[in-house]
Every structure is written in structure tokens, then in C-alpha cells.
């Protein structure tokens, strides 16, 4: 059995593109290629070139493709949602215009993927990994987050052919077993994996 593994700029410590101490993106692409990876994740928006032609050129120069782009932000807040919609369009537009990972598993939808991660609630982050202590979203806030994820997933697929996948994350509002169960009930697999 062959398992294909991609990497992501976060393996080089890339988190916030405004962080002045991040390694240059050229170094990340070069080292990912030298390590034998064939695909990499986009990293935080604006870390890698945002112009599709330049991004394509750089990926091809390093014999790399993209497997995914990620939204890692507050998905609960209504005020933040327009920014998430714009980010979804930006990420998915680029994913649809550059080389993406080759499909290798018959049962999975092919790359590229939009990885959706809720994060941004400092109280939840404070209690990461502590199910009994972590504050939970109200039913209304949970449903708002589910609707936001559904909308972003539909934009990704319907407008760009990018499959949305939801990534539970420590410190986010989708972390614990009961939240995962509720997520599976609220968002059909056809909408997001």
C-alpha cells in the first residue's frame, strides 16, 4: 500500500504572515521539494504568492502541487463572516488555477481541499483539551457556525470545484466528541468532509 503525504508551511513555524520571523516562502518550497514532498498546503493567505501565475510558476519550479488551503479563524461571529467569504473566494480561486495534488485514493474526492478550522475564541483556547471546563456555544451560536461552514463549503465546491473538509482543532469550538457528533449530524458529508 502506498500512502501519499503532503506537508504544510506550519511545519516550518509559519502561522501569521505578518510575523517578521517566518522563514521566507522560497525556503519552505525549496526544503519541501528537497525532502521529497510532491504537494504542500497553501499556508496562511498571503504567505505564498497570491498572484496565481506567480504561484503556479513557483510550484512548478519546485516540482510541487497544492493539496489544500486553510481557513483558521473565528467562524462563529457574524461580524467576521464577510471576511471569511472573501478569504474562501481568494483561496479557492488560487487552488483552482494552480497544479493540485494527483488523486490517489478511489473513495476520496480529489484535491484540492478547503480545510475549515474554527479558531478565535480566547475562552475556548484557554481550556483546550478540557472538555469538562471548556465553555460551549449556545445552540444559536452553534447553528450560526454550522451555517457559516455550510455557506463556505458551498462556495468552494459550486464556484471552484474545491472540496471543503472540516478540521477539529484544540481550542476551537469544534474539538470534543459531542461537538464532533453534532457536526456530523448538522453538516452532510456531501457538503463537507
Spatial neighbors of 67 by CB under 8 A, at least 6 apart, are 6, 39, 40, 41, 100, 101, 111, 112, 113
Q: For residue 2, tell me if it sits in a domain.
A: no
Q: For residue 24, tell me if it sits in a domain.
A: yes
Domain count, the chain: 1
pLDDT value, residue 47 = 96
Q: For residue 19, tell me if it sits in a domain.
A: yes
For 101, half-sphere exposure in the C-beta direction (CA atoms, 13 angstrom radius) is 25
Q: For residue 53, tell me if it sits in a domain.
A: yes
Q: For residue 193, tell me if it sits in a domain.
A: no
Q: For residue 191, tell me if it sits in a domain.
A: no
We report the CATH number of the domain holding residue 118 as 3.20.20.150
Give the global pTM: 0.93
Task: Tell me the pLDDT band of 99, cut-offs 50, 70 and 90.
Answer: confident
- Residues of the domain holding 159: 9-186
pLDDT tens track for 146-166: 999 999 999 999 999 999 999
Q: For residue 75, tell me if it sits in a domain.
A: yes
Amino acid at each position: 500500500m502506498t500512502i501519499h503525504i503532503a506537508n504544510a508551511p506550519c511545519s516550518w513555524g509559519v502561522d501569521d504572515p505578518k510575523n517578521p520571523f517566518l522563514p521566507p516562502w522560497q525556503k519552505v518550497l525549496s526544503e519541501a521539494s528537497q525532502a521529497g514532498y510532491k504537494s504542500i498546503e497553501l499556508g496562511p493567505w498571503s504567505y505564498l504568492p497570491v498572484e496565481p501565475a506567480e504561484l503556479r510558476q513557483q510550484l512548478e519550479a519546485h516540482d510541487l502541487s497544492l493539496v489544500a488551503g486553510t481557513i483558521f479563524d473565528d467562524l462563529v461571529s457574524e461580524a467576521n463572516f464577510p471576511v471569511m467569504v472573501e478569504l474562501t473566494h481568494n483561496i479557492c480561486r488560487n487552488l483552482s488555477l494552480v497544479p493540485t495534488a494527483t488523486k490517489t485514493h478511489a473513495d476520496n474526492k480529489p484535491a484540492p481541499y478547503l480545510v475549515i478550522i474554527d479558531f478565535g475564541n480566547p475562552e475556548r483556547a484557554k481550556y483546550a483539551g478540557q472538555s469538562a471546563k471548556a465553555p460551549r456555544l449556545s445552540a444559536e451560536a452553534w447553528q450560526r457556525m454550522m451555517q457559516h461552514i455550510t455557506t463556505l463549503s458551498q462556495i468552494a465546491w459550486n464556484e471552484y470545484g474545491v472540496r471543503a473538509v472540516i478540521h477539529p482543532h484544540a481550542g476551537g469550538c469544534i474539538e470534543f466528541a459531542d461537538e464532533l457528533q453534532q457536526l456530523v449530524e448538522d453538516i452532510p458529508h456531501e457538503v463537507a468532509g
